[in-house]
Amino acid sequence: MTLREVKKLMSLSTLPFRRTLAQPPPSTNPLLLNLRRPPPCSVRMSSTQSDNMTDLEPIFKQKKIIRSKVRKSLKEMDPSLRSFEDDAIQCTVLEAPWFKSSKRLCAYISCQALREVDTSKLLAEILQTSAKDDQNCSRKKLYVPRVEDKNSHMRMLHISGLEDLIANSMDILEPAPLDTKGDHREDGIALEFLAYYKCAVMRADEPVDLFLLPGLAFDKSGRRLGRGGGYYDTLLRKYRQLANERNWKQPLLVALSYSVQILDDGVIPITPNDVYIDALVSPAGVIPISSSALHRYHAEH
């Protein structure tokens, strides 16, 4: 698939298309099927939880203010500058050793309406590499996000081409739940809510090497401000727990950011549920943050 085809298909996310999100398939994990049903959970919030929510209200308000300011800056961004920064960021990722060595990747499908850093070149490269012979040592496997509900539940589904994508109810491209054969698409990672057990369960069969993440604002200490849904923070937090339990190597969390999205350290407020990124890619290059990212960066240079 050519880069022109990639960009053409990604531009469809701005069309007035609507559909209803499909429900996630029931879990077939035998470990889950053998679980006994726990006692019903009370829907009433405890006094401690209520107090914690009250304590976090100033943080939520501050995040809302920052989101508004960054959205304004993105809207005012000159189109030629945006295009230049898109190319610079993607070229930096494509040349990075940590990208070239990654075999299983999770990446977002950029949306022009949300003014996200473009990922069309990255997706085209990954899909081109994934189409190569299985014996090729550089072959990659791509997983992209699909939102399942309004409760921060999301899964990463495997795609082999951008023709596997459809527009969701928010006009954002995401993988169709079924492939062309009518089979359920392969899950890379899935945070699935099991109504019977009244809990969300993280499912993944193999470790992921790299996450390419979107966001509204970032700083050089690793803080990331999303759009308020909590989908990525919830998925990443649960996946990291699973990786620890299975002794998997933790994935590298890399965010892509325009220059106007990088704020001074400490400006972005955080809560206990926020997940820090390992590295940031801006038009100026890679900014390694975590110890693992710093180690890789120095080893590569």
Chunk the chain into consecutive blocks of 10 residues (it has 301) and report each block's average pLDDT, rounded to whole numbers.
60 42 43 40 45 81 97 98 98 96 96 96 90 65 89 88 86 86 83 66 90 98 96 94 95 98 96 96 97 86 73
State the pLDDT at residue 152.
Answer: 76
What was the pLDDT predicted at 33?
40
Name the pTM for this structure. Answer: 0.81
Considering the domain delimited by 3-13+62-142+158-164+207-300, tell me its CATH architecture: 3-Layer(aba) Sandwich (3.40)
Contact 144, 181 (CB under 8 A): no
What SS3 string covers 103-137?
CEEEECCCCHHHCCCCCHHHHHHHHHHHCCCCCCC
Q: DSSP state, 155?
A: E
- What is the model's pLDDT at position 247? 96
**Burial class of 160 by CB neighbour count within 10 A (0 to 12, 13 to 18, 19+):** middle
Query: Tokens standing for 51?
Result: 């107090």
- What is the C-alpha end-to-end distance of the chain, expressed in Å? 33
What is the reported pLDDT for 41?
39
Q: Is 298 helix (H, G, I), strand (E, B) or coil?
A: helix
Give the per-residue pLDDT at 53: 65
The reported pLDDT for the residue numbered 54 is: 74
Whole-angstrom distance, CA of residue 221 vs CA of residue 164: 36
Domain ranges (residues) in the chain: 3-13+62-142+158-164+207-300
Q: Give the strand pairing for 210-213 and 252-256.
A: parallel
Strand boundaries in the chain, DSSP class E? 104-107, 141-147, 154-159, 165-167, 173-175, 187-194, 199-203, 210-213, 217-218, 224-225, 252-256, 279-282, 285-288
Q: What is the distance between the alpha carbons of residues 17 and 168, in angstroms, rounded to a whole number?
A: 8
| pLDDT for residue 194 | 62
